[in-house]
Amino acid sequence: MKKEVFQNSKELGEAAAAFCQVIINKAIDQNGSARIVLATGASQLDTIRSLIKADVDWNRVEVFNLDEYVGLPESHKASFRKYLNEEFVDHVDPKAVHLVDGEGDVETKIKKLSATLVERPVDLALIGIGENTHIAFNDPPADFETQEPYIIVKLDEACKRQQVREGWFDKIEDVPETAVTMSVNRIMESKVILSCVPFKVKAEAVKSTLENPVTNKIPATILKTHPDWTLFLDVDSASMLS
């Protein structure tokens, strides 16, 4: 594990974009193309907005997203498809974009997306850490055993409260009960993982992740077992570390 602490989220995002640029361009040089996974949410905005300015031939990059609510239309402000299209895809025109669609025949869509994901390795995955220490929508206690690439999960109350607090939903009753998420094992198959985790509200989750043994009750602890995991914090999110 490598860890760096920056002054604020903007500085963190700029450093993350520089980090990603190196990894992506190396993959393109070696394989002719690259595959990346992008996290979403309020904590990822500065990283995404810096990443679109990176010196990368995006026409040679395939993009996957981590998760999406079941039954939520793309027009909803909380939709991660909407988020990624507006904040990233529309700015860089990637080679291919594979987004999680939680509407309609979800099971069939998951199977198709999973088959596409496992065709080739992911070169770089941006994986945030939630306030409840979830990675993607793998809330505690997370399933560390399943080998399925994408799964349907039930969202816990802490996760729902975070979505309301960040302004994606007006009240907790509006948050969908379930979501599609990339599984823990599939996340861990990525060659390189970068976690960008700014803001004071993430300080306790960061402390729990780094100062506890690996357990599915603190899902982000699994990241410590990855051979190439880098954690970017700001001074606020790092404020509770020993």
C-alpha span between 130 and 138 (Å, rounded): 10
42-70 pLDDT, tens digit per residue, is 999 999 999 999 999 999 999 999 999 99
Specify whether the CB–CB gap between 219 and 134 falls below 8 A: yes
pLDDT score of 213? 98
Domain assignment of residue 241, yes or no? no
Domain assignment of residue 239, yes or no? no
Domain assignment of residue 242, yes or no? no
CATH of the domain at 179: 3.40.50.1360
Counting Cα atoms < 13 Å in the Cβ hemisphere of 63 gives: 24
Domain assignment of residue 145, yes or no? yes
Counting Cα atoms < 13 Å in the Cβ hemisphere of 51 gives: 33
Alpha helices in 38-119 (DSSP H): 45-51, 80-84, 90-92, 106-117
Q: Which structural domain, as residue segments, surrounds residue 25?
A: 2-234
Rg (CA), the chain: 16
C-alpha span between 125 and 195 (Å, rounded): 8
Residue 196 corresponds to which tokens in the numbers above?
A: 């960008």
Domain assignment of residue 69, yes or no? yes
Domain assignment of residue 116, yes or no? yes
Domain assignment of residue 240, yes or no? no
User: Is the whole model's pTM more than 0.85, yes or no?
Assistant: yes
pLDDT score of 242? 87
- Overall number of domains in the chain: 1
Domain assignment of residue 36, yes or no? yes
If pLDDT is split at 50, 70 and 90, which confidence band does 159 have? very high
